[in-house]
Amino acid sequence: MLTFGVEEEYLLIDPVSGVPVPRAAEVLAAADLLSALRPEEAQHELLQVQVEVATPVCEHLAEGAAHLERLRGAVDEAARSVGCRIAAVGAAPFTGLTPVPVTDRARYRSARAEAPQLVDDLMLNGMHVHVGVPDREQGVAALNRIRPWLPVLVAMTVNSPFWGGRETGFAGWRTIHFDRWPASGQPPVFADAADYERRVTALEEAGLIRDRAGLYWHARLSERYPTIEVRAADVQLTVEEAELFAALTRAAVASALAEERRGAPLPRVQEEMLRAATWQAAHNGLGGDLVSPVDGRARPADAVVEEFLAYAAPGLADTGDGARVEVLLKDHRAAGTGAQRQRRAWQEGGRAGLLGLLLA
């Protein structure tokens, strides 16, 4: 059984205007007083309009969902106490004054000095799933094998169609935003763990990333935990959706490790195709075609999702999450992605309708 954990980033917004408010310090101070939160489960992010939570290490899917329910409830309670709310949205749909204050840490101040416009635009929130791996060698093997499927995960988890009060034309604007940083998008293929170390160290020594936290790839080895960290997903509107994609991410890693054990050949995907497939996934979500990692051809999103589910099926059998995922998938298909629901709310109720959805 592979262990897992989930990190979620939330936007702090004014409950009337929906504009991000820089109250992270106040929210976290209030959160520290709540018995529902354990030390360091809620933390600062780069910008003071964001907070991040992290579950403990989990073995069972229901355990992870219960922690997320607890964490979301407690942080929102803390936010309410200081006059704001949390929004589990991939990109800020409404923006106010800039520059947005950064958290007072050296690396964040340095980032602002080097790339002020990029930092101002980082009102972006992801869901990061850590999956335990036996060692870094097998972690690299899993990275190499799941990378062709990461655009499909992007498409399934899009929850950021609006930015600055406008429709962007993309279902996953967060993905497009992050691609402007030096080490972003899908990770490259690595020969082994030593190759991973050599190439990441080269990025650091060339000054292209300040440290390994600057690896904004959609999946990477964690430097703090014995895990691979899959960062492709927008933060999800609901706990149930977060539960679904945590399960599918863990299952994909389990399937990848099983492939590695039996010596299956590595998937061969052209780099330009994978990059374009990621852009397409962020643009279309599940509302158009996606590129199949199986044969590199475009086909309807539902068909490519079925291929991903087939890839993850052995992992779901290993984790025992198949029945729960089937229920969650049915609900997700009925409701639509977060991006689809945001667009419906905007069409039906304008700014107030969208804000109502985010606060619900």
DSSP string, 238-249: SHHHHHHHHHHH
In a domain, 174, yes or no: yes
Q: How is residue 58 written in tokens?
A: 């989990």
Q: Please tell me the total count of domains within the chain.
A: 1
Residue 359 domain-assigned (yes or no): no
The residue written with tokens 């529902």 in the block is 36
Cα→Cα distances 264→82, 145, 147, 255, 256, Å: 54, 10, 15, 11, 9
Residue 218 lies in a domain: yes
Closest CA to 257 of 102, 134, 81, 152: 134
| Coil, helix or strand at residue 307 | helix
Does 83 map to a domain?
Answer: yes
pLDDT tens readout for residues 193-240: 999 999 999 999 999 998 999 999 999 999 999 999 999 999 999 999
DSSP element (H, E) containing 132:
strand 126-132
- The reply to whether 354 falls in a domain is no
Q: Which domain holds residue 140?
A: 4-345
Per residue in 53-109, pLDDT (tens digit) is 999 999 999 999 999 999 999 999 999 999 999 999 999 999 887 788 999 888 888
Residues sharing a CB contact under 8 Å with residue 318, sequence separation 6 or more, in sequence order: 1, 2, 251, 254, 258
**Which of 345, 343, 348 is closest to 360 using CA atoms?**
345
- In-domain check, residue 236: yes
> What letter does residue 299 receive in the DSSP assignment?
E
Residue 354 has a pLDDT of 97
Query: CA–CA separation, 281 vs 289, rounded Å?
Result: 8
Write the CATH number for 164. Answer: 3.30.590.20
